[in-house]
Copies of this chain bind each other. A is one copy, B any other.
Amino acid sequence: MGGYELRQRIRAGEFNGQTSGQCPGYQQANVVILPASSADDFLRYCVSNPKPCPILAVGEPGQAKLTQLGHDVDIRRDIPAYRVFRHGEAVASCDNIMDLWQSDFVAFVLGCSFSFEAALQRAGITIGHIAAQRNVPMYITQIPTQAAGSFSGPLVVSMRAFNPAQAIRAIVLSERYPHAHGAPVHIGDPTAIGIADIHQPDFGDPPVLQDGDIAVFWACGVTPQLALRQAAPALAITHQPGHMLITDLPTDGTIT
């Protein structure tokens, strides 16, 4: 059943927290909802930037039930918390978007890093920020994404640090999860990709770094939120960071 039970609790207003660690073995996802007028450009943006924006599903205009992702999935009310953007600015949070839903809305569901993090943990690799009960540190880089229409902006990366042997293993394992951002985009010196101070992330919590660790940087699902600010459509809705859509897709399954 995957996330069905938790989605039902979310729908009933009984759960509105972060989803990290919930429903292990099932893919969690980033969500971006846009009016059809912006959706074509955003689809091209995702396809052109598959590492930060791996597409799990795209709805038809007006399609609120995305049953290809799980039993009875309703994109309007099965996510613990939503963010509402008007003209590129986050203006509100809410726990469902039933009243905001429009018949021309297109839902984009994008993979997230939880899938490969679970694979690392199964391999016995400790993930610093999880062990320290912190959010993953995220950084805006100087690497540009490929622009599509009005969508553009820098690549955002998440960082996890490991000893060298575990860093090698983390690279190999994450590469097997292209729908969870795949292999890293950078390792080692953070300044090489425009990160001035690794201890001061742009999003999330400061990193957990130990002597001899190598910093490993993955493309991050926050990237499209910056592109959304750049494109500034009249209305857009996303999940609240960390409050993901839990699907019924096994993390080790194939997206078809």
A187 and B189 form a contact (CB under 8 A)? no
Q: A165 at interface (Cβ–Cβ under 8 A)?
A: yes
Q: Flag if B192 contacts A214 (CB, 8 Å).
A: no
A189 to B, closest residue via Cβ: B212
Copies in the complex: 2
Inter-chain contact B165/A168, CB cutoff 8 Å: no
Binary per-residue interface labels of chain A (142-179) against chain B in the complex, 1 for a CB within 8 Å, 0 otherwise: 00000000000000000000001101110110010000
> Is A187 a contact partner of B212 (Cβ separation < 8 A)?
no
Instruction: Check: A180 CB closer than 8 A to any chain B CB.
Output: no
Chain B hits for A175, CB < 8 A:
172
Which residues of B lie under 8 Å from residue A171 when comparing CB positions?
A: 168, 171-172
Q: Is A183 an interface residue (CB 8 A)?
A: yes
Q: Is the CB of B164 within 8 A of A183?
A: no
CB of A188 closer than 8 Å to a CB of B:
yes
The residues of B that contact A212 with a CB separation of less than 8 Å are: 189, 192
Binding site for B on A (CB under 8 A): 164-165, 167-169, 171-172, 175, 183-189, 192, 212, 214
Q: Report which of B164, B186, B192 forms a contact with A188, defined as CB distance below 8 A.
A: B164
Q: What are 6 inter-chain pairs, A to B, with CB distance below 8 A?
A: A164-B192, A168-B171, A168-B183, A168-B185, A168-B186, A188-B188
Contact status A168-B189, CB under 8 Å: no
Residues in B neighbouring A192, C-beta threshold 8 A: 164, 212
Q: State how many angstroms separate the Cβ of A181 from the closest Cβ of chain B.
A: 13
**Chain B positions within 8 Å of A167 at CB level:** 187
Give the top 7 A-B pairs by smallest Cβ distance, nearest first.
A172-B175, A171-B171, A164-B187, A164-B186, A188-B214, A164-B188, A168-B184
Chain B contacts for A164, CB-based, 8 A: 186-189, 192
A169 contacts which chain B residues (CB < 8 A)? 183
**Selected contact of A186 from candidates B165, B183, B185, B189, CB within 8 Å:** B165
Complex-state Cα separation, A184 to B187, whole angstroms: 15
Of the candidates A165, A167, A168, A189, the one having the most CB atoms from chain B within 10 angstroms of its own CB is A168
Closest residue of B by beta carbon distance from A193: B164
Residues of B within 8 A of A168 (CB): 171, 183-187
* Residues in B whose Cβ lies below 8 Å from that of A165: 185-186
Interface-central residue, A169, A171, A183, A192, by most chain B CB under 10 Å = A171
User: Which of B185, B186, B187 has a CB less than 8 Å from the CB of A187?
Assistant: B187
